[in-house]
A and B are shown apart, each in its own frame.
Chain A
Amino acid sequence: MAPIQERIAAFPDGNSLISIQKSRLIVGNSEGLIKIYDLDQLDLEPKSIDIDNNITSLVQSQDLLFISNTNGQFQVIDLKNYLDHSIDIVVKTIYRSELPLRSIQSIPTLNQVVVGGDDRKLVFLDTSSSEFKAIKTLDLNDSIVDLSLGLNNSLIISLSNGEVKFYDVDGFGDDDDFTFKKSDMITTKILTSLDTIDYKNDHQDELVATKIHALKNGNFLIPANDGPSSIKLYSSTYQEITEIKDIESSGSIRSTHINDQESLIAVLYSDDTVKIFNLINYKLEHRFPISLNDNNIAINLQWFKYDLYFGTTNGEIIYFKQVGKEITTTTSTTTTSTEAIISAASGLFIDDATEDTDEEEYEKIAKRDRSKVQEEDSMIIDQDDDINDNDDEGLFGDDLDGDNYGDNKRFKSSKKYTNGGSSTSSSYFTSHTEVEEFQPYSPGSTPWIQDSKSDNSGSVERRYLGINTVGHVWAVRNSGYDQQQQHLTISFYDRSIQKDYHFTDHFKFDLCSFNNRGLLLGYSGINEKKNNDHGGKIYYRHHDSETDSWEKTIPLLKDEIITGVCLSNTSSQSSSIITVGTSLGYLRFFNLYGVCINVLKVQPIYALISSSTSNLFTVNQIANNIYTFSLIDINQDYNFIQQDVLLPIKRKSNEKLLLKGLFFNEYNDPCIISNQDDTLLILQTWRDSNNSKWIPILNCNNVITEYGSNPNKKNWKCWPLGLYNDQLNCLILKNNNPYPGFPLPLPVELKIRLPIQVHSINKENGSLKKKKKKKNPDDILDEDDEEEEEEDDDLMDTDGSEQIKNLFNDNDDPEENFLRSLTMGKIISDSLNDEAIGGDDDENDEIMDRLTKYSILFDKSLLKLFAESCKDSKLNKALSIAKLIKTDKALLAASKIAERMEFINLSTKIGKLREDLLDIDDDEDEDDI
């Protein structure tokens, strides 16, 4: 069950960082204030302390509170004097740097505190006296981004270039004190903020976890964001033991924290998901989202007993009570034998000087399984030399010059960053290249989603295998990824065609395609992809009977998986074709009875979909984050209508989902919505070779959130289903959910709206304002126009949703109406010539009706634009608009408007345009005769 999110409204704004010691919660806000709460008595009024703005780090060490900020100040506050003796608070600056300071680490056993930042210096200060004298300074080769403390006063320094250094604070102060150094151990993180830190926009790259946690048994936990994000467990001898991760990616890791018992690690991801992993068996125990308004995000987290607390960018503190309790009680102290071996193996490498209470236990286990331990040991030693070569090499490299098989290491080691201020976020991303692995994809599919209603003991997971215009297929399984079976249900929107049915699936199908008559399922073979000559599976059945059902194994090479399957949606049953595409670009075609009728090798397939006219649309991935598309006419001897044309979409950084929607409209024009910008694109003039164009026709996010004007809808998202007429059929996902839940909510329809107009939000009253020019008081307005103006003013003065909705009326924006009627008119008129549609009278009539409507809208919007230009006395603009008008009737109206506004010259020019138009018409008539 998802835990209940609670909040402490600590501050109304600014980034809030938290630090908890015992039951004392200290919240430092970037707006220059600290509040001290007692977590046992949260209802008491907190105590406040003024500090400098733009805090970067906050550390409690017994009764001292250390803070650093981007001004380079390192300050201390004596909390004991303030809280116990009510002595006036003094914020004492104990060190000052020219550049921002980023991280503080206290070393209580040595009475020292360390601070570091952009000036590449670590400064050690003595905390035993009230003077806080600097003991020593350590110069480093790059900026310090994070500090943490390991065993035996070993300071773990995370550097901006991805290097990690282990420094012995007890040492002699020379280079030998660096007990270990390793580059590329963490993500490179360039901190560019010099004053205010805007984690939501400019400095969002600064929210990548780089802090290393040292465990009491000598092991380390390192957040890894290169490639699929995970937490890597390293032994005390700096060897990687295991990787803790979830199958379902949630973006990069923002922050981590381990509970006091070191049994749980809470990980905050960039999509505001929190995952709690068990540090005994390294399994995911709990996953839940954080929901914040206004695109605000959580920035750091900390355990307090079983509760989890989060600092956020909107000043408030979010917490979840008792999230760790159930997990701790269920997993308790029992470890499995393999885990014990791993622990023991790592325990062997612990320094003799380590006096950990657990060590004896580890030793006992180690003795018991000595032989196994030795195997582990030798394995680790063997791996030592090659450890750098273990970077995942995907099939397709990230460089575009054809060197697809180059390794990542070259990129990582050759890039050195300085913090000179010139580095931009883009440089971060170029260094942050990752080789994507192919995943099976069906349009509308979602990852496994844990049922929020089920309890932890027997949780249920569900996913949509596919959603299309006919219905949806969803799978359900019990928790645990090793379940051997899942149950599939297929639901139809149109209950008159088929009845819903369900069955048990033993193959763990992860691909799906279906039409009105049959269902095609596929297993991608992703779990066996490292095997040579493994196989994927496809299975076809009719909805109404299983008599003709069949299954077939698809041969796959090593590292190859089936990425997409597709069942063409044609009217006659015999001509339905099954297409199966793989990550190596094999495209196999089968008839409905499983006979392979063709095979092609194309670019690696990312996704497949087929239109009702058997046009196959393929999305191909040619390099990392570079995609192309092709259109193949299956009925016309597999002719390429379009071949390998670049697709203008990209994967959003740190997000797994590329496509939110992939479908055809009712006239077989391909439509696509990428997760990057939530914009619906429709392919225009795809019937001409080398002339296809993607037209953006709707920004779903803007429309759903009413251009950000409605605070209740800020966290709403859209999950597209299909495009009919001028309306996008979609689901609305509330509470920041990235995927649709269960059962499928009722779809809504969004009117398409070309993204050409700027809408700004009036922050004072939250209403939506369209950018609009001031009217000239000297202008002559007729009464109707004046009324319209008044209505508009009313609309802007109030914040009622009805008024906002009025903005989306047809009459709202003539410029958008003009462009929409022109664009959609072209798209629809192209489909008139299609054989499948052209033969159908009803369809033809429908198209003609729509074309007529567009033509009326076209003239109407142009006339409005014309009148507006005349009103503003922009006569050249008015004439240019008149030239766009195509009908005599509309030109006549334009001429009358000009006359009424006493622009006689303009009226004469329009008269000439009319004459020209008549001449053309006459010529055409003569030609016809």
Chain B
Amino acid sequence: MVLPAQLQNNLTPSEVNFLAENELVTILPRYTMQKMQLIGTKVPALRAMRRESVPLWVALILKSQDKCSIIPPKWLNVAYLKDKYDEEVRKPNQFSALPWNWLEISKMLLARASDDLSDPSHLLRSVLQDLREIRLVKSRKGLKELNESNIVLNGLSLLEINELRPFVLTVMNKLRQLHDTSNAQDIADQDEYEDGGYDDDDDDDI
């Protein structure tokens, strides 16, 4: 793919969105359709008013043609998301468990199937934004803990990880290089010590 160098190590938001479209959602068809076997995906036969699970992209196409109602995921309601927000506030050192694609799916459903959602969309947008912001603040605070070897991202979704990735990767790379350098220096010092007989007490980390 011909992309600028800074984007080559990372998924773009539209790519993340594209991946999220493969998530299965339940729909209530208002349309009868035979089953389809696609590459990697199977769309079951649809009959009016019988719930079926289909990939989100199929659901959105049908929805745009007014051929189905999308049953919103169980987590996409104000009460649940408020609970999660409270949990985020209560536990400052960890992220609450939200679906892997919560941001993308909620954005797509709010944009294209807002009439099927159980709560008013402005309330949902508001609580989603609150959640997003508090998690962003947390993830930025967490950058203090960055080290050269590992990073724990439990509870973060794909899009949130991708937001961090360019910065974190660069910083961790630098940290690693520094660490390698300091290690190399240590080894050199050790060698010198063995050769020249330095005192142990002077062997401080950098």
Contact = CB atoms under 8 A, between A and B. Distances in A.
B31 interface: yes
A187 to B, nearest CB: 44
B67 interface: yes
Contacts of B49: 469, 493-494, 721, 729, 747
Interface string A718-755: 00010010000100000000000000001101000000
A492 B31 CA distance: 10
A225 B28 CA distance: 45
B48 interface: yes
Given A746-B28, A747-B28, A495 B66 contact: yes
Nearest to A729: B49
Most buried by A among B49, B51, B67, B69: B49
A338 interface: no
B30 interface: yes
Nearest to A805: B74
Interface string B19-49: 0000000001111100000000000000111
Given A747-B49, A749-B51, A494 B30 contact: yes
B112 interface: no
A495 B67 contact: yes
B72 to A, nearest CB: 11
Interface residues of A, number: 13
A495 B31 contact: yes
Interface in A472-513: 492-497
A746 B32 CA distance: 17
Nearest to B28: A746
B174 interface: no
B176 interface: no
Chain B binding surface SS class: loop
A146 B29 CA distance: 58
Chain A binding surface SS class: loop
B67 A496 contact: yes
Interface string A748-765: 010000000000000000
A496 B31 contact: yes
Nearest to A469: B49
Most buried by B among A494, A721, A747, A749: A494
B50 interface: yes
B66 to A, nearest CB: 7
Contacts of B31: 494-496
Contacts of A724: 50
Interface string B47-60: 11111000000000
A721 B51 CA distance: 14
A497 B67 CA distance: 12
Nearest to B66: A495
B56 to A, nearest CB: 18
A191 B105 CA distance: 61
A494 B30 CA distance: 5
B99 to A, nearest CB: 14
Contact of B30 (A493, A721, A729, A749): A493
A494 B48 contact: yes
B69 to A, nearest CB: 6
Given A729-B49, A749-B51, A496 B69 contact: no
Nearest to A842: B45
Contacts of B29: 494
B50 A495 contact: no
Given A746-B28, A747-B28, A493 B48 contact: yes
B32 A497 contact: yes
A729 B29 CA distance: 13
Nearest to B48: A494
Interface string B157-200: 00000000000000000000000000000000000000000000
Nearest to A724: B50
B195 to A, nearest CB: 57
A494 B50 contact: no
Nearest to B67: A495
A238 to B, nearest CB: 57
Contacts of A493: 30, 48-49
Contacts of A747: 28, 49
Q: Which 4 A-B pairs have the closest CB atoms?
A: A494-B48, A493-B48, A493-B49, A495-B30
21 contacts: A492-B48, A493-B30, A493-B48, A493-B49, A494-B30, A494-B31, A494-B47, A494-B48, A494-B49, A495-B30, A495-B31, A495-B48, A496-B32, A496-B48, A496-B67, A497-B48, A724-B50, A729-B50, A746-B69, A746-B71, A747-B49
Interface of B: 28-32, 47-51, 66-67, 69, 71
Given A492-B48, A493-B48, A496-B31, 4 more contacts: A493-B49, A495-B48, A746-B28, A746-B69
